[in-house]
Amino acid sequence: MNLLITGATGFVGSRLVDVALDKQYNVSAVTRSAALPNQESNYNLQWCIGNLSSEFDWSKNLTGIDCVIHCAARVHQMQDDAQDIQAVYDQTNFHGTLNLAKQAVANGVKRFIFISSIKVNGEQTEVGTAFQPIVNHPPRDPYGISKYKAEQALLSLAEETGLEVVIIRPPLVYGPGVKANFQSMMKWVSRSMPLPLGAINNQRSMVYLDNLVDLILLCIEHPNAVNQIFLVSDDHDISTSQLLRKINQLSNAHCLLLPIPMSWFQVIASVMNKPQIAQRLCGSLQVDITHTQKQLNWQPPVSWEQGTLETVTDYLSNKK
């Protein structure tokens, strides 16, 4: 089985390449740079150059490929000063994705796995409710909109051509080497600084990196994955305060979590013109993975406790 994996040097893509090679897949790993990553030589691994412009010619890279796993994307950023943010995201995440998929069809690729985002569903849920594969309200966030457009275009392409499309929408992905918000929380805790986050009673779904990779690899050949949308998580929701306490415990740190009412924290963030930070720390975002579990007979192989342990241990061992 021959795979083409885009975003192969990214957080998800690099781990996916490693595990796919361990499982004896032949991997064509796509990078944007001519400077290839430092990696042990592997007979089943071939690096190739590609980009997500709408004009890029993928034909050489797609020769003999059975399944494309499309991890690459223009990622969401909290601050972006481009004049037309939507056009910037669409160029890569929508037009670039559709160009790759159409050329996959032309080159005889059987299956196309698209790593989308839970932002297609929205930014948050009410506690006790969870996102489903069906999108009730189109997203408003430029990144989420671009991913939603790509999903719709891929499903239409599947109907028109017979390409087998699989869409996976992860929430926050964490694991060894994680950056962004999860890394920031580990940094705060490891410094044993007091944090006003001891009374955040939200609920968040997350997915450990190896759980996501396990699901992606299952979807390569599973007959029930065809033209389906799958939500994914560790099947365990947790509050921000609970997560910080767990990180505190695993780090052997002495971080004091002050039980400041969540409403106070939100007001302070608003006054500081940082409402998006309050939303990410205080808001709930839960996903229902029942469809994924039943359709594929899948369970996340790594518990959130083990995943958090692996993540914190890696952070502490590499902390400067």
Residue 22: phi and psi, rounded to 5, are -60, -30
SS3 147: helix
Active site residue 143: yes
235, 173 contact by CB (below 8 A): no
Count CA within 13 A, CB hemisphere, residue 102.
Answer: 14
Task: Specify whether the CB–CB gap between 183 and 318 falls below 8 A.
Answer: no
**Paired tokens of 250:** 């695993």
Catalytic residue among 143, 174, 208, 315: 143
Q: Is 277 helix (H, G, I), strand (E, B) or coil?
A: helix
Here the tokens at position 251 are 């780090």
* Residue pair 233/300 in contact by the 8 Å Cβ criterion: yes
Residue 299 CA to residue 232 CA, distance in Å, equals: 10
Just list the catalytic residues: 143
